[in-house]
């Protein structure tokens, strides 16, 4: 990801192999773990079967993934959980209803018992292959039986209305409707009842059977036909939500034009192209695999990855992302990742995994649903029995009311409202180049009140240039060469500026030995048998080598918003430490940073910059971008302490705190934040693995976009819960007052489900 390293000048540098890439990166701070997880669980996207949301597996178990096409909503999840939870050898279950995937963590020698148990529930479990694909899904069901059942139900109503062949003709037409549209419902209902579960199929079966037993034939027929129709529409709507994320994968072509050993070019399946192969990309084609340009110049549209609609110029050495569109010139590039590990594939895996993590609202809804159905069922039994026994009411009339209540008793609309909304929000964020690692972060974003930001590579371009250079000791003419040689061993942007300027001026590099990093200060090394230190203002004070005259000189440079880099000879052999050379380095502020800060302020989010640079530089950069508060001289632990203090204030008012940083070097601060944001343009794989929210380019304006999307998501969640509960409450009242009918109850139940699904899908719209 973008190197927004801690801002102390010349941080320590060690070589670390960046996960998922063949090239090496430098981790500027060995004290901060590469696998930082922000204090939350961020399992690797491939820890569980592909396509399944990975979870923290119990020790000693293995994970097996299954695609279950019949697992459409929480009713099936409850059945499966009840069947498998107590099975010997099964340690944990993880459900992804939106992708119809079940992950079983187990110690079984074979998964056959799991498949058989699911089959006993009337569902077929297809084991996922290594690439996440299951067996070919069943073809879509034809619509003509549903149309026939609907016609029979309408005919039953007409026959009853005009007294045509009553009661035999309405009864026959009703039975025909139930046989055509309801056998599957009865089968599922019986399985549910046999397993002690009152799901919608069980409740509907009881209600329709009861209606037929009391002679309400047309009502039973219409209820079953409407229920079947609503189920089909709901399934189609949920498929649209499921495909919101998967549609991204369609952006990668199935074939790539690969250079052959004989020098020719051949189109081959992208999935078979190995890392290191050379691929040709013509104008207008989509990039099939992640790679790095080796020849040619062109502009590419990277919107599927970064959300940035403006094409970016690409040339030799620049990265390419699978799914990007080549606008003009022809390119050749070397493949850097296989097809199933491309940046786009990893985004999709991460978003699918995020679907499995329940947001706070979803957990509340799930708990509420466990109470709601039994409570309404008990009310229905009381309605059927108490009035006739206690008040002499008509048995058939009150039984009918009880049957209507049974139809309303299923909380499907309420339960499905949250995952559909969250998945739609995750998909909408991904299309904007914002990768959110879980519904909890998408939901918390609307409560963000403070945002802390790293400086280098975050607010600034992270590519500073040397602006000042002065030798402080005439007896060490090689001071600049020594400083450049030490700086060349670090990959921090400030040190790179010193090394690059020396190289441009033809300064020869010297041999460095005993190189080591000093966290928060700089680096040390031995050149020509003498030990030197190259670092920041703090370093020269720690060495006791800063005279009043030098201090005044340093402050004058720092007040210009520049970062100071000093070369000092370390004490030894009877002499004390002394400063040998100073360098001034300046970074440039991103224009997008100013706009992002302004947008955050407009949203009511306050901002704080935490920089390892001196306070003068921090103040200058903070003022340039409009930051509310800028703090300099911040060590990694200082940043974490600042976040802890902010979090305490924000939580007391019901708010949340975010942190934007590297994801590696800012690990303590990111861990303390409620939401950790990582800049992700360079090193996207690390951003995906470590961040709560990864910005797939270096545009901070995506954070205000995230906050706005989070607020829309929270609003739609509230709307959906209000719709689901409000519609149920209205029809419960109508039923108790004798104004509700069974077909109205079906509309109340399935209609509410459709409303919340369509409402949630509004998040997938662009804008």
Residues with catalytic annotation? 454
Tell me whether strands 14-17 and 298-301 are parallel, antiparallel or unpaired: unpaired
C-alpha of 458 from chain center: 21
d(CA 242, CA 759): 15
Check: CB of residue 543 under 8 Å from CB of residue 581: no
Peptide bond into 612 cis (omega under 30): no
- Coil, strand or helix at 458: coil
Q: Phi then psi for 565, rounded to 5 degrees?
A: -125, 130
DSSP 219-263: HHHHHHHHHHHHHHHHHHHHHHHHHHHHTTGGGS-SEEEEE-TTS
Residue 430: closest CA among 307, 342, 310, 340: 307
- Coil, strand or helix at 290: coil
Residues in contact with 16: Cβ distance below 8 Å, sequence separation at least 6, in sequence order: 24, 25, 26, 27, 34
d(CA 188, CA 264): 58
Q: In what order do the strands lie in the sheet with 265-269?
A: 265-269, 255-259, 278-281, 331-335, 291-295, 319-320
H, E, C per residue of 613-679:
CCHHHHHHHHHHHCCCEEECCCCHHHHHHHHHHHHHHHHHCCCEEEEEECCCCCHHHHHHCCEEEEE
For residue 268, what are the β-bridge partners? 256
DSSP 300-348: EE-HHHH---S-EEE-TT-EE-TT-EE-SS-EEEEE-S-GGGSHHHHHH
The helix or strand, by DSSP H or E, that contains position 522, with its residue range, turns out to be strand 522-527
C-alpha of 10 from chain center: 33
d(CA 34, CA 15): 12
Q: Phi then psi for 269, rounded to 5 degrees?
A: -65, 130
C-alpha of 605 from chain center: 22
C-alpha of 624 from chain center: 32
Give the other-Cβ count within 10 Å of 441's Cβ.
27
Residues in contact with 265: Cβ distance below 8 Å, sequence separation at least 6, in sequence order: 257, 258, 259, 280
Residue 137 to residues 349, 362, 586, 638, 681, Cα–Cα distance (Å) = 20, 28, 58, 54, 37
Own/partner pairs for 183-187, CB < 8 Å, 24+ apart? Answer: 185/224, 185/227, 185/228, 187/122
The residue whose two tokens read 């309420």 is 414
Q: Phi then psi for 610, rounded to 5 degrees?
A: -115, 110
Return the structure tokens found at 716. Answer: 């739609």
Residue 353 to residues 132, 527, 689, 697, Cα–Cα distance (Å) = 13, 50, 12, 21
């Amino acid at each position: 990801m973008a190197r927004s390293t801690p801002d102390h000048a010349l941080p320590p540098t060690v070589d670390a192999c960046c996960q998922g890439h063949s090239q090496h990166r430098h981790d500027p701070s060995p004290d901060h773990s590469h696998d930082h997880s922000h204090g939350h669980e961020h399992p690797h996207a491939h820890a569980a079967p592909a396509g399944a949301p990975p979870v923290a597996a119990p020790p000693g178990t293995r994970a097996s993934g299954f695609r279950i096409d019949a697992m459409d909503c929480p009713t099936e999840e409850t059945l499966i959980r009840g069947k498998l939870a107590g099975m010997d050898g099964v340690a944990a279950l993880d459900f992804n209803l939106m992708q119809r995937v079940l992950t079983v963590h187990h110690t079984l020698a074979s998964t056959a018992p799991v498949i058989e148990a699911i089959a006993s529930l009337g569902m077929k479990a297809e084991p996922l292959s290594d690439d996440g694909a299951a067996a070919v899904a069943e073809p879509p069901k034809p619509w003509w039986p549903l149309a026939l059942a609907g016609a029979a139900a309408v005919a039953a109503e007409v026959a009853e209305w005009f007294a045509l062949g009553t009661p035999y003709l309405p009864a026959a037409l009703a039975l025909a409707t139930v046989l055509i549209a309801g056998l599957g419902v009865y089968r599922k209902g019986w399985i549910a009842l046999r397993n002690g579960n009152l799901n919608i199929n069980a409740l509907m079966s009881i209600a329709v059977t009861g209606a037929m037993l009391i002679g309400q034939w047309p009502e039973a027929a219409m209820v079953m036909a409407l229920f079947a129709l609503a189920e089909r529409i709901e399934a189609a709507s949920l498929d649209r939500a499921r495909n919101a994320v998967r549609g991204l994968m369609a952006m990668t072509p199935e074939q790539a034009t690969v250079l052959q050993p004989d020098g020719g070019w051949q189109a081959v399946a992208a999935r078979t192209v190995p890392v290191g192969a050379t691929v040709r990309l013509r104008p207008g084609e989509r990039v099939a695999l992640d790679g790095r340009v080796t020849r040619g110049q062109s502009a590419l549209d990277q919107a599927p990855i970064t959300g940035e609609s403006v094409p970016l110029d690409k040339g030799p050495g620049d990265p390419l992302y699978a799914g990007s569109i080549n606008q003009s010139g022809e390119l050749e590039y070397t493949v850097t990742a296989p097809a199933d590990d491309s940046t786009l594939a990893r985004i999709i895996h991460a978003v699918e995994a995020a679907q499995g993590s329940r947001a706070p609202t979803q957990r509340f809804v799930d708990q509420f649903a466990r109470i709601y159905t039994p409570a309404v069922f008990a009310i229905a039994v009381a309605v059927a029995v108490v009035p006739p026994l206690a008040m002499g009411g008509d048995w058939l009339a009150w039984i009918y009311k009880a049957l209507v209540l049974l139809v309303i008793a299923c909380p499907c609309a309420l339960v499905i409202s949250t995952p559909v909304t969250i998945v739609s929000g995750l998909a909408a964020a991904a299309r904007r180049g914002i990768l959110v690692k879980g519904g909890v972060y998408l939901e918390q974003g609307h409560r963000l009140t403070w945002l802390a930001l790293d400086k280098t590579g975050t607010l600034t371009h992270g590519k500073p240039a040397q602006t000042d250079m002065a030798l402080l000791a005439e007896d060490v003419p090689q001071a600049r060469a020594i400083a450049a040689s030490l700086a060349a061993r670090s990959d921090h942007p400030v040190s790179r500026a010193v090394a690059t300027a020396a190289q441009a001026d033809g300064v020869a590099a010297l041999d460095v030995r005993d190189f080591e990093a000093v966290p928060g200060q700089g680096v040390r090394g031995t050149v020509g048998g003498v030990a030197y230190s190259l670092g920041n203002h703090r370093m020269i004070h720690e060495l006791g080598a800063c005279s009043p005259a030098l201090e005044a000189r340093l402050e004058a440079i720092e007040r210009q918003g520049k970062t100071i880099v000093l070369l000092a000879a370390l004490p030894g052999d009877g002499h004390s430490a002394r400063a040998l050379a100073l360098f001034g380095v300046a970074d440039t502020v991103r224009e997008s940073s100013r706009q992002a800060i302004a947008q955050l302020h407009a949203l009511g989010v306050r901002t704080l910059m935490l920089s390892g640079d001196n306070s003068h530089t921090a103040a200058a950069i903070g003022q340039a971008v409009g930051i509310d508060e800028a703090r300099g001289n911040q060590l990694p632990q200082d940043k974490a302490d600042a976040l802890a203090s902010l979090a305490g204030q924000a939580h007391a008012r019901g708010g949340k705190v975010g942190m934007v940083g590297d994801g590696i070097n800012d690990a303590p601060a990111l861990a303390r934040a409620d939401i950790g944001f990582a800049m992700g343009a360079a090193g996207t794989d690390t951003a995906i693995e470590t961040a709560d929210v990864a910005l797939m380019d270096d545009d901070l304006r995506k954070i205000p976009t995230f906050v706005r999307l989070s607020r829309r998501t929270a609003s739609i969640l509230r709307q959906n819960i209000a719709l689901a509960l409000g519609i149920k409450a209205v029809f419960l009242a109508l039923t108790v007052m004798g104004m509700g009918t069974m077909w109205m109850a079906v509309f109340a139940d399935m209609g509410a489900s459709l409303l919340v699904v369509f409402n949630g899908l509004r998040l997938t719209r662009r804008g």
